């Protein structure tokens, strides 16, 4: 990675963090804040690596996060 770019977690690491978020006993508001943080991190990582093709794994993660988040009825 370039020295001037921040280091991002891999798409796999972010996916795992999202899965853990979905299992936590949080209020909807708390979960929404954490979801937004993960979303922003994945989006920033995708944007940072658009030129080298690695963005596709982040884009797939964002699609999966969106799909799963929209279908959550309750969070514990």
User: pLDDT tens, 23-68?
Assistant: 999 998 999 999 999 999 999 999 998 888 889 999 999 999 999 9
33 within a domain of the structure (yes/no): yes
40 within a domain of the structure (yes/no): yes
Residue pair 61/38 in contact (Cβ under 8 Å)? The answer is no
Share of the chain above pLDDT 70, in %: 87
37 within a domain of the structure (yes/no): yes
| Segments forming the whole domain that contains residue 38 | 26-76
Confidence of residue 75 (pLDDT cuts 50, 70, 90): low
CB atoms near residue 37 (< 10 Å) = 12
14 within a domain of the structure (yes/no): no
Rounded Cα–Cα distance for residues 2 and 67 (Å): 32
17 within a domain of the structure (yes/no): no
What pLDDT, in 10s, does the model give residues 15-29?
999 999 999 999 989
Cα first-last separation, the chain: 39
59 within a domain of the structure (yes/no): yes
Q: Say how many domains are in the chain.
A: 1
75 within a domain of the structure (yes/no): yes
Verdict on whether the full-model pTM lies above 0.75:
yes
46 within a domain of the structure (yes/no): yes
């Amino acid at each position: 990675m370039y020295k001037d770019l921040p280091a991002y977690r891999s798409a796999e690491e972010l996916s795992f963090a999202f899965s853990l978020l979905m299992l936590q006993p949080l209020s909807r508001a708390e979960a929404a804040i954490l979801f937004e943080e993960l979303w922003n991190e994945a989006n920033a990582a995708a944007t940072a690596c658009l030129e080298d093709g690695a963005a596709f794994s982040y884009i797939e993660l964002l699609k999966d996060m969106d799909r799963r988040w929209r279908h959550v009825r309750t969070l514990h």
